[in-house]
Structure 1
Amino acid sequence: MSELPDELWSQILQIGVKTSALTYKDLCCVSISSPRLRRLSDHDSLWSHLLSSDYPSSSSSFPSSASSSKSLYKIRLERDRYRKKAAHTRAVLRKESQIAEHYRRVGQLEERLIEETSKCTTTLTELSNLRTVRFGRLREATVALNVWQPEVIRARQKQIVEQCSVSVDSRLRTLDMELKLCKQQIAIFQKALKDEKKRLELAKEELTSLKYHPLKDHKSMNSSNNDSHIKRRSKDAINCSV
């Protein structure tokens, strides 16, 4: 590297920047290689080209009296990072709000499902009891009508039995309709609850993806592994001392 003149290194860097083979990160890596390359990579023409290619609108964002293209690039980069971070934070907050809404909706559907199930159970119980009562009354009426009675009393008793039978049958039909409606509502709420839970899980996965950071997660995992390793070594030391 020391055998190459500064002019050649400057041309190499210029070609790399103009062909987009070198990014600002590459220039930063080159600059820490040696004091000589640091001086060459700080050349204003390199950063001017990067500034115009990476941030075309930046020329109108800064006054002409600004110090250097590298300084302008740094300012623009920091602004861009802040903007992206703010946008990411807003996206995370929106997703968390969406998840909270999914949880609220799931809770509502579960409550409605419990209500309809309870209503269905109550209707079934009343229906069963009413059928039992109806069967018992019909049996009693049949027995009573088979016993000899004066015609007037017999006709009156028959009329009462028929009226009771009509009233019970009407109530039975009403309960049957209510039971069908309850079952239909339960099926609707079960499907809605299943779909809402799917949307909730999808939103949670999207939030995990938004919050994922390879470096932070890697450090966290390494820290966890180190802690477990230290605990294991401490435990082994204690066992050995015992």
Structure 2
Amino acid sequence: MSMLPDDLWNRIMEIGIGTKSLDYKDICRLSVTCRGLRLLAGDDSVWSPLLLSHFASSSKDLNLIKNDGDCIGNNNRNSDSTVSAKFKSLYKIRYFVSKCGLIDWENNDRYEKEVKHRRFLLRIESEIAERLRQIQERVLQSAREKEKMNETIAELRNLRQAR
């Protein structure tokens, strides 16, 4: 730990989380190795991406916590440990709630995927309907032009007969 500066360790953790090479278990394991990594592993920059990736519907809660200085169950705004542990404590709460089965986050993600899929299908159906409308419009236009062409041919025949 003493070989690398803290900002480099922090960046390593952020990249690991960003590439999904590190998960919450790995961060917890790193935090028990030494005091310096424990302090870095408790940082919001580490836990906020984890919270967003695992509990997608919690973005509203994240905005509430960002705007409000309170940590859940603690009203002390001046404590640095409270401020830096907001995302970690929210992750803990979400994790235990999902483990107890009170809220099924995985089904929520599945529901969001289904909604995205439905939107995708509706978009495709809409494009198909638009293309069919364009085809019908062109068929009608073609029929009108064919009718005009037949009228023109009939006129030409009449002119030939009149000569």
Please, what TM-score do these two structures have when normalized by structure 2? 0.48
The structure that is helix-richer by fraction is: 1
Using CA pairs under 8 Å that are at least 6 residues apart, name the structure with larger relative contact order, 1 or 2. 1
Please, what TM-score do these two structures have when normalized by structure 1? 0.33
Q: Pick the structure with greater CA Rg.
A: 1
